Amino acid sequence: MSLAFNILAGTFVITLLALMGNLLLIFIMHVLMPRKVLDTYFKEPHFSSTEITMFTGFPLGYMRTAMFMRALGFPSSGKRRGVEGAYKLAPVWYCKVSKYLIVFFIINFSILILSGVIGYVYMLMYE
């Protein structure tokens, strides 16, 4: 294997492990999501009944957490749904962690997908 492939594979494995850690943290954030925020904003008219059905419980409940983490970390992103004031109901640390987690997730996940797709193409050529 070439040095370039080793670097690519190393990057892929590190970002993959980071993703697993990231998902674990998101799960913890899901459990710690302030009940007050959900009681106030996870209902009509902010969300439709279809969305409430879809994003309640297993397995898509974590997508609800994703939405609220974004709304809490970046309040302006919640304007369209009228949830821009949700951050006032959550602890400051929760909003900050949400913000950093989302930024880290996007950067890490982009690198993971990029290295994985390039690696997969390389693997097909190698085989």
Partner 1 sequence: MNNYYEYKIKNGDTLSGIIQSMFGCVRNDTRYAETVKHLLALNPQIKNLDRIRSGDMLRLGVLPSTPPPTARIAKTAHPGHIKTPTFITQAVHPSDSDNFWALAWLEHNANYLTIPGGIAMGASGNLLSPGNVNLINEVSDHYADFKSDRITKSQYDYRRKLALDKLKTNIGPFEKMMFGKNTTHQSIRIARSGGVPATAHIAKHADRLKNIAAISKSGGIVLAGVGLTAACMQIASATDAQEKNEIFVETITSTGVGVGLGFAVGLFLISNPIGWGAAIVLAVGSTATSYGLGKFTRFVYTQSGTKIDLVSGAGVNRLCQ
Residues contributing to the site for partner 1 (CB under 8 A): 1, 9, 12-13, 16, 19-20, 22-23, 26, 47-51, 53-54, 58-60, 62-63, 66-67, 70, 77, 80-81, 102, 105-106, 109, 112-113, 116-117, 119-120, 123
Of the pair 38, 54, the CB lying nearest partner 1 is at: 54
Of the pair 69, 90, the CB lying nearest partner 1 is at: 69
Q: Please, which residues have CB within 8 angstroms of residue 42's CB and are 6 or more apart in sequence?
A: 52, 64, 68
Q: How would you label 87-110 residue by residue, b for 16+ Cβ within 10 Å and e otherwise? A: bebbeeebbebbbebbeebeebee
